[in-house]
Structure 1
Amino acid sequence: MTSVSINRVEIDLSALRENYRALRTMAGHDVAMMAIVKAEAYGHGLVEVAQTLYDEGVRAFGVAEAWEGVRLRDAGISGEILVFLGAGDAGFEDVVHFNLTPVVYDTASLAILSALSGKMQTPIGVHLKVDSGMGRIGIMPEEVLGFVEEIKGFPGIFLKGVLSHFPVADESSSERTFQQTQTFGRVVDDLRMAGYEGEAIHIANSAALIRYPQAHFNMVRPGISLYGCYPSREKEYLEALELKPVMSFKTAVQQVKTVPEGHGISYGHTFITRRPTQLAVLPVGYNNGYLRKLSNRAHVLVKGRRAPIIGRVCMNVCMIDVTDIGGVVPRDEVVLMGRQGDENITAHEIAEWMETIDYEVLCLFGNLNRREYRG
């Protein structure tokens, strides 16, 4: 029998399905939906999430790199798989062989893809990335028509979609998002006047899907919302629909002991006990994505009650104060993220302790720990 870590993230596929259905209803059935499953589906498991959503009717998936798309094809996922970072030096042949759809933004990539199209006798559809305000990958709006004409000069390549990306759709002020939607809309109008009627026109992420229906065009790209986190804590988002967290993070108590008043805890003795303290040692540390930033800040759940992290989080362990809980013994379940009894610790709360965003919390916990699936 192979030994496994007691630390685990639990992935609730029923919650994933419910989130998808809620977002599907919100977007409307005349708008296509591309599920974003890059970064191991935000730590939830690339193949398992894609298979679940495919069974729900999703036929378009977004990944960052070609190798992720290959994994989906190997798992039997059909439909469109969009590669946001393009083919990349190592992925051109995979794009063609596995019928992936690369995002394009330069003629050098088009030349390589065109040559492979001829060699493998396979037409290649591409999505053109427009930088409508993100300041990241993509071509500028005023260059789009010229670039589309250049695409026509590469045999075997055809324009299948046009996309862009919002940088601030999750902010309370809507002015910049409104302006960016207009900019992208003008690009789309210009392309249509030039004869392009693309299959996929998309800019809406989770935030825009929920709050900006005018940005839906004919496809939306939910990511974080599929996994039960809101793109913003603004009232408009929280009241728009109910999302259920898909991931929880659990471990078990390793040791329980009592230390006297004035006892230093962990490296640097950043916590000194002010009373005789019953502490529990947990086999979780920054090796598991439970960052040092959580030292003397975070709480966990034991026996349905909150227990604070005391002292510095170490590579493989951290300590909690269970003095006021009582009855804690080794092997008791500990919830680092998720629900236990009437208490709940969310990814958002942990993100605030870490001074980061929910996305990073999910990726850290989900990609650095064993996954178990239910539902």
Structure 2
Amino acid sequence: MASDPYSNVVVDLDALRGNFLAVRRLVAPAVRLMAVVKADAYGHGLVAAAGAFARAGADCFGVAEVEEGVRLRQAGIAGEIVVLLGLPPQGIAEAVARELSPVVFQRALLDQLSRQAVIQGKVVGVHLKLDLGMGRLGVEPAAAGELAAAIASLPGLRLAGVLAHFPLADDPGATELCREQWERFQRVAAALQNNGQAGERPLLHMANSAALFRFPETHADMVRPGISLYGYPPADPAPVAVGQELNLRPAMSLCSRVLQVKELPAGRGISYGHRFITTRPTRLAVLPLGYAHGYPRALSDRAEVLIAGRRVPLRGTICMNACMADITELPEVAVGDEVVFLGGQGEEFIGADELAARHDTISYEVLCRFGAANRHRFVGDEAV
């Protein structure tokens, strides 16, 4: 039997559930909430996170690819599962069989999707994606009517939703542009609704976490929170304030153990390149975690970890599987003591946004990297 790893990601399922309920309270009861669980639930574990959200009342989930939707169905997750990156040809039959709802943005695959729906005796709800300035996936508004008409004309398909995405909702300098995009979305969506099947109106959804906080008028029929469900508000100061009021709780920690304690004299170089040289007799803790665990090498000499409830600096270049912390001021630290790279210990806390700011990225990337590179351990009343 394999031994436990030195380091692992710890995910608090109770925090995930609490975050979902906090965001749920922010929108009107009639507004649906799509729990975005793509990218392995931002590194938190796809099935476990979706299960926590489902137990909190989620009935719609956003994934990136068919494989993620299949995993959720295999785990017993009910409700609507929207495939945000659409369908590759080889995934169409599986998507229909698993009753997934694909996002569509081009005509090419609709005929194949329709044929599979008819063969399997099902009706597939599709969500039509508009590009209103993101410059990513989506059909240009001028061509959206033709695509909506094609959906309405094909057997086995129905227009379940119309969506777009805000590229600048977290930018305080882009408020007017965001409002213009929202107004344009409403105009285009209203025209598309006239092309839908009689008696049905597709759900309109555009608000991500930032828009959900900053622009309540954009909640429409459904909102799509992502980062806020995992305990972090978007970067803009206004959403941060709202996030604090909601008591969002970061759900992920990255923890390890002290592998070795050693004494070094003054003038001793540490790690590759000797980018740090001791200026005094120094006590070091060698930690079995490095960039192979998703911890950025760019944080060498630029970050801290928590040991014995206190912040201590990392020294020298971060290695593939190890790094070193200066514990000169903590003589009580011993081999086997817990080390927290992300999360809380005692009264101290290191967040993903702090680590992101120290090497010019965003909390989303930090969470995804840690989650992808480490074994998960789930805690909380809902952990099994």
* TM bracket (short chain): over 0.9
Kept in 1, the 8 Å contact 2:164–2:205? The answer is yes
Under a length normalisation based on structure 2, what TM-score does the superposition of the two structures give? 0.95
Counterpart for residue 322 of structure 1: 327
Counterpart for residue 191 of structure 2: 190
Structure 2: segments with no counterpart, 5+ residues: none
Give the share of equivalent positions with the same residue, in percent.
49
* In structure 2, C-alpha distance between the alignment counterparts of 1:235 and 1:130, rounded to whole Å: 27
* In structure 1, C-alpha distance between the alignment counterparts of 2:366 and 2:15, rounded to whole Å: 18
Q: How does 1:294-309 map to 2 (within 5 A)?
A: 294-309=299-314
**Partner SS, residue 309 of structure 1:** strand
Q: 1:170 to 1:143 in 2, by over 3 A?
A: same
Q: Deviation per CA, 1:229-264: give whole Å up to 9, x if none.
A: 011240453245221111111100000101111111
RMSD: 1.3
Q: 1:157 to 1:192 in 2, by over 3 A?
A: closer
Q: Deviation per CA, 1:302-339: give whole Å up to 9, x if none.
A: 11111111111000000111112222111011010111
Amino acid aligned to 2:119: K
Structure 1: segments with no counterpart, 5+ residues: none
Counterpart for residue 171 of structure 2: 171
Moved more, 309-318 or 149-158: 149-158
- Structure 1 position 164, deviation (Å): 0.6
Counterpart for residue 139 of structure 1: 139
- Structure 1 position 119, deviation (Å): 2.3
Q: How does 1:236-275 map to 2 (within 5 A)?
A: 236-239=239-242, 240-275=245-280
Q: Deviation per CA, 1:253-287: give whole Å up to 9, x if none.
A: 00010111111111111111111111110000000
2:216 aligned to which of 213, 238, 241: 213
Moved more, 110-119 or 129-138: 110-119
* In structure 2, C-alpha distance between the alignment counterparts of 1:222 and 1:117, rounded to whole Å: 30
Kept in 2, the 8 Å contact 1:162–1:198? The answer is no
Moved more, 72-81 or 145-154: 145-154
Residue 44 of structure 2 corresponds to residue 39 of structure 1? no
Q: 1:235 to 1:166 in 2, by over 3 A?
A: closer
Counterpart for residue 180 of structure 1: 181
* In structure 2, C-alpha distance between the alignment counterparts of 1:117 and 1:18, rounded to whole Å: 38
Counterpart for residue 95 of structure 2: 95
Amino acid aligned to 1:122: K
* In structure 2, C-alpha distance between the alignment counterparts of 1:97 and 1:264, rounded to whole Å: 60
* In structure 2, C-alpha distance between the alignment counterparts of 1:275 and 1:331, rounded to whole Å: 25
* In structure 2, C-alpha distance between the alignment counterparts of 1:8 and 1:116, rounded to whole Å: 42
Kept in 2, the 8 Å contact 1:228–1:243? The answer is yes
* In structure 2, C-alpha distance between the alignment counterparts of 1:233 and 1:171, rounded to whole Å: 6
Under a length normalisation based on structure 1, what TM-score does the superposition of the two structures give? 0.97
* In structure 1, C-alpha distance between the alignment counterparts of 2:354 and 2:167, rounded to whole Å: 22
* In structure 1, C-alpha distance between the alignment counterparts of 2:39 and 2:239, rounded to whole Å: 28
Kept in 1, the 8 Å contact 2:291–2:320? The answer is yes
Counterpart for residue 318 of structure 2: 313
- Structure 1 position 16, deviation (Å): 1.0
Counterpart for residue 152 of structure 1: 152
Aligned length in residues: 375
**Partner SS, residue 67 of structure 2:** helix
Counterpart for residue 229 of structure 2: 226
* In structure 2, C-alpha distance between the alignment counterparts of 1:277 and 1:294, rounded to whole Å: 20
